[in-house]
Amino acid sequence: MTIHAKCYLMRISSAVVLTILCGMLPLTSLAQKADQELPLVIAGKLPLYPIMARAARVQGVVKIKVTTDGKKVTSIDVESGPPMLVKFAKENILTWEFTEHKPTTFVTTFEYIIEEPAQCDYSNDALTLKLPLEVRIIVKGLKTCDPSAEIKSHP
């Protein structure tokens, strides 16, 4: 086999591997939706960015496995995320109410994002909800804004 032929084959095989890998990513998340009927969320508290996390400038992704009994959440198991954010994500999930459904388990992702540039004051949250699987909360960063002193002239 010539060198050209070998290179060609390697390119082809790399492309095939990449295609399979890239294809698997959306398939994985779709699998959760396709394999099960997700419950309809009919009530719950707004999952605002916790003031504690904003004050601490903590952001990150929380993944929580939620189990329902056909009416309400019966258990929540943390899969990953900063403990500060986990606490608030769990609290929010516990406020969710569903229509009657077949008992199920699914993984919910809470994404807490602090955007730059930072501002001098707190701003309102921007929420994207794809319930019950995805919650994305975006806020502007916060910075101190301390003015210079009034200069007293020396005699």
> Which residues sit at the interface with another protein, rule CB under 8 A?
50-52, 55-60, 82-85, 87, 118, 120-122, 141-149, 151-154
| Residue 128 CB, nearest approach to another protein (Å) | 22
Torsion, Cα of 25, 127, 72, 91 (10° steps): 100
| Residue 153 CB, nearest approach to another protein (Å) | 8
| Residue 17 CB, nearest approach to another protein (Å) | 33
- Give 31's Cβ-side CA count (13 Å radius): 6
* Gap between the Cα atoms of 140 and 120, Å rounded: 10
* Gap between the Cα atoms of 71 and 145, Å rounded: 48
**Dihedral over Cα of 61, 124, 46, 127: its sign:** negative
- CA neighbor of 108 nearest in space, from 4, 31, 32, 16: 32
**Per DSSP, what are the bridge partners of residue 11?**
none
**Cβ-based nearer residue to another protein, 26 or 83:** 83
The residue assigned the tokens 């995320």 is 81
